[in-house]
Structure 1
Amino acid sequence: MTQETQTDDAVDRVLDERRGLSAADVAERVARGEVNDVPVRSSRSVGEIVRANVFTRFNAIIGVLFVIILVVGPIQDGLFGFVIIANTGIGIVQEMRAKRTLDRLAVIGEAKPRVRRDGTTVGVSSHEIVLDDVIELGSGDKAVVDGIVVEAAGLEIDESLLTGEADPVLKQPGDVVMSGSFVVAGNGAFRATRVGKDAYAAQLMEEASRFTLVASELRGGISTILKYVTWVLIPAAIALVISQYRINEDDVPEAIRRMVAGVVPMVPEGLVLLTSLAFAVGVIRLGRRQCLVQELPAIEGLARVDVVCLDKTGTLTEGGMNVTEVRVLDPELPVRAALGALGTTDPRPNASLAAIIEECTAPEGWTETATIPFSSARKYSGATFEVDGVRQSWLLGAPEVLAAHGEPILAEAEDLGAHGLRVLLLVRTDEPVADLTAAYDPARAKPAALVVLEQRLRHDAADTLRYFAEQGVATKVISGDNAVSVGAVAAKLGIPGAEHPVDARTLPADRDAMADILEKNTVFGRVTPQQKRDMVGALQSRGHTVAMTGDGVNDVLALKDADIGVAMGSGSEAARGVAQIVLLNNSFASLPSVVGEGRRVIGNIERVSNLFLTKTAYAVLLAILVVIVNVPYPFLPRHLTLLAWFTIGTPAFFLALAPNKERARAGFVNRVLRTAAPAGFIAGTACFTSYLIARDYYGGTEATRSAETSIATLTLFLVALWVLAIIARPYTWWRVALVATMALGFTLVISVPAFQRFFDLKLVGTTMPWTAVGIAVVAAALIEVVWRWIARRNPLPVVAA
């Protein structure tokens, strides 16, 4: 191949890269399967939802027992199986609803990479990108496929999420771009060389954006509880099986029914279901508020947060800005022309530059020869222009960075910043900007003008900050802007400590020393992206659960390392990609809703856990006592199914979805076991005592077994109803109605002849029923005393309404 031919090929390639692929090129690659076919999943698949709800350890146990009862009969002793089927169906339906909500929100919040097709730039979904597509990049954009840079104007890419290297990498044409990296400065374009599953970070990206059921404190606690239950259940069930077969040798079906009746209530079958249900309903509720929950435990996690780190711009203030004044420092310099010219150097200007573009018109005859894109680490941007044959360089950025120490202009800028204004300094220098990226000398630059910008406070920010303060959640404002200016904005919002802002350039590098300063102060300015990350780590080192909110590329590292990352929907693609929660409506005021949902889930699951584990505790105790005393098990499966309906299953469903503002606390497992175990022990003891007295009173024969079971059922129902009444506190009209309805339902069952026959329950005489009531009253009083004693030793934190 001749040199001339090679040159022609190079020209053709440049032309193709400027125009991008044609529609025919795209169709050809799609037909060959050269498409980015790794979808960003926001939820589990339908198959995964069904499997997770159906194929559980306890469903397997209940399923086997259900089949056994279907064989020996009668059908009313198999009602527990139909309840499990209904509960599992409800769980699947609710999670499917949550999936649809999340999928819809994910589409709304999905970033659209800008791709060149047929000479125009269009936004397409990530999965529509094909091999050889030319993808444009600007500040905050994330590379969704691997490729080769074809254009670069000060293009700096952060690859820390892939390599761990914190420093941005300056990219030139021909350099490699890896999927998962993001742009921190400059702009450019790259050609896709690896798409779909071949891309470097395809699996990473899919996992990062998935609606997950990963480990959380709540789920981990429930798993621990279920592990304990399994350890107790297996030996108790084996002993019960042996006992009932020995007692009922002449009636094997009866022995089987009594054995199943003893094993079924040991299984807290609805606990996992109601946990998933509570989370799913939380996702749906937050979806209605335009909150995309990219990781399910984030709902719970934000409720446990005790420190919220806030980026000022885009979180406390709105994205847009207005130029209120251009204060010229040197009348001989063409200040407005220079500002207008700088506005033309960035095809995707940030909020400050966009305001300057609106204020200053671009001049004629200014030819750009080199640029420095803005970066949060550098704190300035600039460009070199050729004007009438003369080269001149202009820089725009933070006054304290561009001006020499001690310059009077710094005091002027600080005074403006103290009023909550954002101040930028424009300087003129004769040095080419290419020489200024690594080393800038303020002494060789001439201050030209101060650009004063006004930031618009979010109207709902003050109320949201007040909510966090009332809930005992500390707020830390960490911003890249001037510390005095940040402090002024914070003061307007009523943030405590705003009168003493800290310049982050004075912070020590040592984590412990930094943590000491963070504990004592609230507002920090001139914070670099790496410092934001270090601040989050320092707070976590002191035992804090930290949430980070932000919207820009300078927040990505901190968002990633925080316990909970919250990004604005209008923020950079990189910020949205690493956050667990995305506020699609860009409203900071949505955070209390997320906190509220988390508290509802945590508090309510703790409530219903007490119900389920009280049942497990008394079931295990009854099995042990039956084995020791060597008597028939007091119940048939239908009786305990009836009790579960009215004291656990139905009320737990309503309580799991009720409002709850209790603050999240650590120690979920210990707290639940500490209350459920004694309640179950007292309930089981009261029930077995009534049963033994009834056996002695009625004769303990086959003919009197129904009467004896009825007395045991009445006692256990009354005690379990009191447990429900305690758990339902504090009372509201619907909670009182719920408890009363459950009591009425059981009363109908033992009063209506048809129900009596179906459930084989009939109270005989008055002596034993009133004895059962008396025993139940004593047991209820004991449970009340024990729970009050436990509550005094572990008081709830004071929570604002």
Structure 2
Amino acid sequence: MPPDPVRAARGLTAAEVAERVAAGRVNDVPVRSSRSIGEIVRGNLFTRINAIVGVLFVIILSVGPVQDALFGGVILANTLIGVIQEIRAKRTLDQLAIVGESRPTVRRDGVSEPVGAEQLVLDDIVELGPGDKIAVDGTLVETADLEVDESLLTGEADPVVKRPGDQVMSGSFVVAGTGAFAATRVGRDAYAAQLAEEASKFTLTSSELRGGIDKILKYVTYAIVPAGVALIISQLTVGKDDMAEAVRRMVAGLVPMVPEGLVLLTSVAFAVGVVRLGKKRCLVQELPAIEGLARVDVVCLDKTGTLTETAMDVSEVRALDPDAPAEAVLGVLGAADERPNPSMQAIIDAYAAPDGWTVTDSTPFSSARRWSGATLRAPGDGPGDGPGATATWLLGAPDALLPAGHPVLEQVDERGALGLRVLLLARTSGTLREALDRPLAAADGVTPAALVVIEQRIREEAPATLRYFAEQGVAAKVISGDNALSVGAVARGLDFPGADHPVDARTLPDDPEELADLAERTSVFGRVGPQQKRALVRALQSRGHTVAMTGDGVNDVLALKDADIGVAMGSGSPATRSVAQLVLLNNNFAVLPSVVAEGRRVIGNIERVANLFLTKTMYSVLLAVMVVVAQVPYPFLPRHLTLIGSLSIGIPAFFLALAPNAERARTGFVQRVLRFAVPGGALAAAATFGSYLFARATYDDNLEAETSAATLTLFLVALWALAIIARPYTWWRIGLVLTMAASFAVVLVTPFLQEFFQLELVGVRAPWAAVAFAAGAGLLVEIAWAVLRRRAAADAAGAPGAVAAPTAR
């Protein structure tokens, strides 16, 4: 039962709030920005890979020297790095989430004050205005033309008019009007919280990168189990005279089969991305959004607040009716608007409300009908149009208030073509309620009084940002609710492609295929309603495009939700911030290139290093198979493969994973990685095993010399693969490859390290043969890479909206 009017106006007292908090009747839905520190530690420590390697670590400690247990230290270091990076990202996320969270306004002790959503308690009186997200369920106690959009919960497209006594559900948002409701269900009892909890039981946020890595690990598991079992039997049979040596070589064969660093570097890359974007005041509300950014090839921009600044200035009020008190009416309309949008705020700044006017009825601006209005009584007691007269005034889009072909619309188009926003102030002969019930532009009785011309300020950073998108092959589309000519003029001022041919969204075709054709070939749209913004996003997606949408107003919410990546401005409505994956807290449009670049860096570099890790897994499995078939001792000890893996994969991969990378990602991650890893691993295994057999024939049972020759071959082939993956070369990438080569050379010529790693090249025949085997395999890997690059270029050319892939830096 709703509270009485007196209590509704006063709200809860401090004592009543404290009582409800103590009883646990508080909105305690947990923040979704990140997982707890305990979950981070457990998630990084207790993994399947760590379990496998941990068992092998214990085995090797029981039979071998500490050198052969070095791989255990690598795993520990990897885990610590993962924990530290994710905790760092968590702190960044949590701090930004506090800044970016919506703060509903509640009445307590007769005073309206904003509080955190988690501080709402049962029976709180929560005030509502345009753009407000409804944080908890409740019953309305007062309304003023309140319209609520429940489409995010129910799928119903049209806003619902609400009256006192009606229910409101958390997760919906206000599109027009004001009101207040008493909270009836909070926390996990609220409707949206229940939906979220149910969804989390059955669905996970889509991530092709993580899904691809899971698929790779599944394939690896299928290969490791039979190869590992066969290797164990083989080594125990071959090395029965030296069981400890057999166990060490068995472990050496199993450890490199596990791509232990791949999962780590994926987590680290995501975490570093969060921190980097956090420094630019960009809140990442869903981590896979960073990956999604790499795939974006179309970005849809709302003009107001994105290309132009939110703040506006009234540059002219052009009288159409000399007898109309236009400036006075504008001042009264501005003062009566409790939640002014940027256009109304410009009017408020220009015209103060005169004394003596009375507002007898009003309706707020709605993005669906595109006008606001009020019934005003002029000061004085005279009849008719003079002092004391009552009239209904409307303010909004001229084409929403006047029929097509009206002479005034020509003046509107003239100013719109200059990039100016034009509003019409008009009187209607009917009542305000009648105006709400009929389409005004098709009706008589609307008398134009004045044109309000508003100047918009183009953001200084907009030209450079648009140039970046063009250079990176990302198509930009301007989708605005403003007059199409005005939108086109602003776009022309930014040298925007297609700005000379803006499309009025009222002429958009209903057929989905025709709409998709138009959306692909057109860059500037005006007079776009909320449902049409959503339809344009879906049309682009239907043609295979990955779409990012930016916005700050209530009319952007539906499109933001349906876009692959929604980007909201920090100053935007709470509803837009709640549905977007990314929030630009400082409203800086210039951050978008950094955001896109970060996404490309993450996914592009993970694909690079995945090539290295999967190549290692492939040659390890194949070497195990060859050893089993040939019934010879495994050619390496764990220390040898730790050395090779660290210098050719582990250390370089860490730097490569965090380097800049501007190439747009494409689907097919697993297939592309396997295309390189399978031939690369097979060639590395064949060359290494050939070198090993040659050395066995040369040295006649000198296992240390045979291992040294095989180690040299495998390292050189792995280094060649690293040199391929590191392309295109920059000074630091060349330095990285040369540093790894020099480090291995130091091990070969330093007595202490020779003894520590049990490496010694004996004579010249086998070592030079090892180099020859490596050179042959390296040339074949090079040929395979060239074929793959040509195939990748052909695939990219055939992709939707494809452009030439930019060179990574």
- Pairwise TM-score range, normalised by the shorter structure: over 0.9
Q: Give the drift of 1:207.
A: 10
Q: What is the aligned partner in structure 2 of residue 6 from structure 1? A: none
Shift of 1:287: 0.6
Q: Which residue of 2 aligns with 1:30?
A: 21
Of residues 329-338 and 686-695 in structure 1, the stretch that sits farther from structure 2 once superposed is: 329-338
Amino acid at match of 2:326: V
AA of the residue aligned to 1:706: E
Residue pair 1:233, 1:620 contacting (<8 A) in 2 also? yes
> d(CA) in 2 for partners of 1:84 and 1:177?
52
1:489-500 matches, cutoff 5 A = 489-500=490-501
- Is 1:412–2:403 an aligned residue pair? no
Per the alignment, residue 94 of structure 2 pairs with 103
Instruction: Specify the alignment match of 1:120 in structure 2.
Output: 111
Map 1:50-449 → 2, pairs under 5 A: 50-204=41-195, 214-387=205-378, 388=381, 390-441=389-440, 442-449=443-450
Match of 2:656 in 1: 655
Q: Contact between 1:340 and 1:362, CA under 8 Å: does it hold in 2?
A: yes
Worse-matched range after superposition: 246-255 or 128-137:
246-255
Q: Is the 8 A contact 1:617 1:681 kept in 2?
A: yes
Give the unaligned 5+ runs of structure 1.
1-8
**Counterpart of 1:799?**
806
For residue 377 of structure 2, what is the amino acid of its counterpart?
E
| Secondary structure of 1:729's aligned partner | coil
CA–CA separation in structure 1 for the residues paired with 2:120 and 2:332: 34
Aligned partners of 2:294 and 2:601 also within 8 Å: no
For the residues of structure 2 that align with 1:597 and 1:798, how far apart are their CA atoms?
16
Contact 2:57 2:71 survives alignment (8 Å): yes
Letter in 2 for 1:355: A
C-alpha contact 1:41 1:206 (8 A) present in aligned 2: no
Cα–Cα, structure 1 residues 132 and 532, in superposed 2: closer, same or farther, change >3 Å?
same
What displacement does 1:193 show?
1.3
Q: CA deviation at 1:202?
A: 2.0
Partner amino acid, structure 2, of 1:380: W
Q: Deviations over 1:436-482 (max 9, x none)?
A: 21204441111111111011111111111111112221111111111
Cross-structure match for 1:680 = 681
Deviates more, 1:193-202 or 1:757-766: 757-766
Deviations 1:651-692 (A, max 9, x none): 111111111222222222111111121111111111111111
> How big is the shift at 1:206?
8.3
Structure 2: distance between partners of 1:762 and 1:496:
65
Deviations 1:198-230 (A, max 9, x none): 111125568999xx9833121122222222111
Q: Secondary structure at the match of 2:135?
A: coil
Residue 800 of structure 2 corresponds to: none
Q: What is the CA deviation profile of residues 224-255 of structure 1, one whole-angstrom value per residue up to 9, with x for unaligned ones?
A: 22221111111111111111122122332222
Kindly indicate whether the alpha-carbon contact (under 8 Å) linking 1:266 and 1:617 is maintained by their aligned counterparts in 2.
yes
Is the counterpart of residue 730 in structure 1 residue 728 in structure 2? yes
CA distance in 2, matches of 1:39, 1:258: 50
Which of structure 1's runs of 4+ aligned residues deviate more than 6 A?
Answer: 205-209
Q: 2:33 matched to which residue of 1?
A: 42
**Counterparts in 2 of 1:722-801, with a 5 A limit?**
722-795=720-793, 797-799=804-806
What's the CA shift string for 1:127-160, capped at 9, x where partnerless? 1111111111111000101111112111111011
Contact 2:312–2:456 under 8 Å retained in 1: yes
Q: Take 1:307 and 1:115, find their aligned partners in 2: how far apart are those partners?
A: 40
Residues 208 and 20 of structure 1: CA distance in aligned 2, closer, same or farther (over 3 Å): farther
Whole-Å separation in 1 of the counterparts to 2:520 and 2:784? 39
Counterpart AA for 1:720: A
Match of 1:706 in 2: 704
Q: Give the whole-Å Cα distance in 2 for the aligned partners of 1:250 and 1:215.
A: 53
Q: Is the 8 A contact 1:612 1:648 kept in 2?
A: yes
**Overall identity of the aligned pairs, in %:** 67
Aligned to 1:453: 454
Q: How do 1:626-645 residues align onto structure 2 when only pairs under 5 Å count?
A: 626-645=627-646
1:579 aligns with 2:580: yes
**Residues 469-512 of structure 1: CA deviation (Å, up to 9, x unaligned):** 12221111111111111111111111111111111111122211
Structure 2 residue aligned with 1:5:
none
Deviation at 1:40, TM superposition (A): 2.3
Question: 2:487: which partner in 1?
Answer: 486
Tell me the TM-score normalized by structure 1. Answer: 0.96
Whole-angstrom CA distance in 1 between matches of 2:392 and 2:569: 35
The alignment yields a C-alpha RMSD, in angstroms, of 1.9
Q: Distance in 2 between matches of 1:73 and 1:438?
A: 87
Structure 1 residues 102, 256: closer, same or farther in 2, change over 3 A? same
Contact 1:309–1:478 (CA under 8 A) maintained in structure 2: yes
Hey, what's the Cα distance between the residues in 2 that align with 1:464 and 1:470? Answer: 10
Structure 2 equivalent of residue 609 of structure 1: 610
Which letter does structure 2 place at the counterpart of 1:697?
T
Letter in 2 for 1:648: I
Question: What is the SS of the residue equivalent to 1:443?
Answer: coil
C-alpha distance in 1 between matches for 2:748 and 2:439 = 88
* Counterpart amino acid of residue 223 in structure 2: V
Greater shift after overlay, 380-389 or 504-513? 380-389
CA distance in 2, matches of 1:750, 1:203: 63
The question of whether the paired residues in 1 share the 8 Å contact of 2:569 and 2:583 is answered with yes
Q: Matched residues in 2 for 1:393 and 1:575: separation?
A: 32
Q: Write the letter of the residue equivalent to 1:418.
A: A
Q: Which residue of 2 aligns with 1:526?
A: 527
Q: Size of the alignment, in residue pairs?
A: 788
CA distance, structure 1, for counterparts of residue 523 and residue 540 of structure 2:
12
- CA, structure 1 residues 208+343, in 2 after alignment: closer, same or farther (shift >3 Å)? farther
1:633 alignment partner, SS class: coil
Q: Please state how far the C-alpha of 1:91 moved relative to its aligned partner.
A: 0.5
Secondary structure of 2:674's aligned partner: helix
SS of the aligned residue for 1:349 comes to coil
Give SS of 2:366's match. coil
Once the two structures are superposed, residues 505-540 of structure 1 have per-residue CA deviations (whole angstroms, 9 ceiling, x without a partner) of: 111222112112112211111111011111111111
Q: Which amino acid aligns with 1:430?
A: S
- Distance in 1, Cα, partners of 2:428 & 2:332: 15
